[in-house]
Amino acid sequence: MNSNKTVLISGGAGYIGSHTAVELINAGYDVVIIDNLSNSDRNAVDGVRDIVGRDIPFEVVDTCDRAALRAVFDRYAFDSVIHFAAFKAVGESVAEPLKYYQNNLVSFMNIVELMKETGRPNVLFSSSATVYGEAEVLPVTEQTPRQPATSPYGNTKQIAEDILRDCCGAYSGLNGIALRYFNPIGAHPSALIGELPRGVPNNLVPFITQTAAGIRPMLSIFGNDYDTPDGTCLRDYIDVVDLAKAHVAAVNRMVGARMESSYEIFNIGTGRPVSVLELITTFEKVNDLKLPYQYTARRAGDVPAVWADTTRANEVLGWKAERSLDDTLRAAWAWEKHIRNIK
Ligand code: NAD
Ligand code: UDP
């Protein structure tokens, strides 16, 4: 393995990590996947292997376990790490803040510390549009001020961004990129990997696909009295394969040492706002089915609208979202049918 062309993926059995593994391999990288399987299944790694047609090193490791992580750093040669490993349920983070601060921050500090200790240069961090909160001006650019976090989960993203900025500033040779994802949705077109929410999904698209599959009797639209064109919230839904390719572009940038400074931030979205209602009607249209839905009260903590200005990612990373919402929602349904054995 050539260390310059090898990427360690923490949380690589998860939703975004598994898709990123595929795109990195398609782009000529080797990957090493680690995951503690706390929110994923080892079948996802087999799905990645099936798509790329070759074996991939995978180890069950908790990134909070420094000694186990150190052993991975000693065993494999890699220059770049993509750190996906984190808990991500906003509501649960409010109920169990320590669980979130512990897992999301200790794991990230272990990664950065071991990179410093072992002289690894490139780290890419999964941040989130949640850092923008309810922005005054839309779309949001990377310069839009962050708002105080409204959940411990959101706070872990802000703190981790700051940790990365400070460490890249202090330790020469360490490069960091934070990608602020908007709303990742969809699945790989092969339907061999996709999102696997545990229990009742919080996110809109898995709730839609589970409703279409008959697992949920009714979809709720949380509020239709927002100050938006159809009264429902606006979001920027980014196809997970496009999102995965943004990671490849960011790794290329770090490996090619084309960073303007040692720490950079990029918004990763489509730049197009889509309402909850538009998303549902598009899903119905492209998959030729009807969804039972009702309007209910607003969900606490939801912002009315947020979408990305993606100019920086377009120009500096040379990356742009390519897949249409139609294709993305077809893929989301194909994946749900695959895991439920629906013909
Ligand atoms: P996911 O839960 O599918 O993937 C995360 C993976 O990390 C899981 O496989 C889980 O088992 C693993 N993991 C968690 N803690 C770990 C630990 N201590 N050690 C090893 N593995 C651990 O989630 P995802 O949607 O793929 O999200 C990936 C990253 O992107 C997360 O950091 C998440 O916060 C961030 N993010 C996700 C979204 C989204 O809507 N999906 C949006 C913005 C940011
Ligand atoms: N939403 C909804 N019904 C659901 C789940 C979500 O109406 O069952 C709405 C939610 O209010 C928000 C949008 O869908 O406006 C996206 O929510 P999601 O939880 O997927 O992502 P968020 O933007 O909150 O991170």
pLDDT over threshold 90, residue 2: no
Tens-place pLDDT, residues 34-77: 999 999 999 999 999 999 999 999 999 999 999 999 999 999 99
- Report the alpha-carbon distance of residue 203 to residue 197 in Å, rounded: 9
> Which pLDDT score is estimated for 161?
98
pLDDT digits 0-9 by tens, 120-166: 999 999 999 999 999 999 999 999 999 999 999 999 999 999 999 99
What is the pTM for the complete model shown? Answer: 0.98
On whether residue 98 sits in a domain, the answer given is yes
Residues 6 or more apart whose Cβ sits within 8 Å of residue 110: 63, 64, 66, 69
Check residue 17 and give its pLDDT: 98
The answer, yes or no, to whether residue 326 has pLDDT greater than 80, is yes
Query: Is 221 domain-assigned?
Result: no
Residue 328 maps to a domain: no
Instruction: Specify the amino acid at residue 90.
Output: V
Between the alpha carbon of residue 196 and those of residues 15, 131, 329, 332, the distances in Å are 7, 24, 16, 11
Number of structural domains, the chain? 1
Residue 228 in any domain: the answer is no
Regarding the beta carbon of 15 and ligand 1, being less than 6 Å apart is answered: yes
Q: What is the pLDDT of residues 105-128, one digit of tens each?
A: 999 999 999 999 999 999 999 999
From residue 238, alpha-carbon distances to 71, 113, 244, 331 in Å are 35, 31, 10, 13
H-helix or E-strand spanning residue 175 = strand 175-181
What are residue 294's phi and psi, to 5 degrees?
A: -140, 155
Atom 10 in ligand 2: which residue has the minimum CA distance? 222
Domain-embedded: residue 204: no
- Report whether residue 267 contacts ligand 1, using a CB cutoff of 6 Å: no
**pLDDT score of 82 more than 80:** yes
What does the DSSP assignment read for 73-90? HHHS--SEEEE------H
Mutate which of 34, 35, 41, 302 for ligand 1 pocket (most atoms within 8 A of beta carbon): 35
262 CB less than 6 Å from ligand 1?
Answer: no
* Residue 212 reports pLDDT greater than 80: yes
- Whether pLDDT at 1 is above 90: no
The boundaries of the domain holding residue 149 are 3-185+238-268
Which ligand is closest in space to the CA of residue 89?
Answer: 1
- On whether residue 260 sits in a domain, the answer given is yes
Q: Is the residue at 190 inside a domain?
A: no
What CA–CA distance (Å, rounded) separates 105 from 56? 27
Query: 287 in a domain, yes or no?
Result: no
> Active-site residue numbers?
153
User: What's the pLDDT score for residue 3?
Assistant: 87
Read off the CATH number of the domain in which 114 is found.
Answer: 3.40.50.720
Kindly give the number of the ligand 1 atom that is closest to the alpha carbon of 107: 18
CB 270 within 8 A of CB 278: no
Nearest CA to ligand 2 atom 1: 204
Q: Is 37 in the pocket of ligand 1 (CB under 6 A)?
A: yes
Longest CA span, the chain: 56
CA distances from 343 to 118, 176, 211, 286, 334 (A): 50, 44, 16, 16, 9
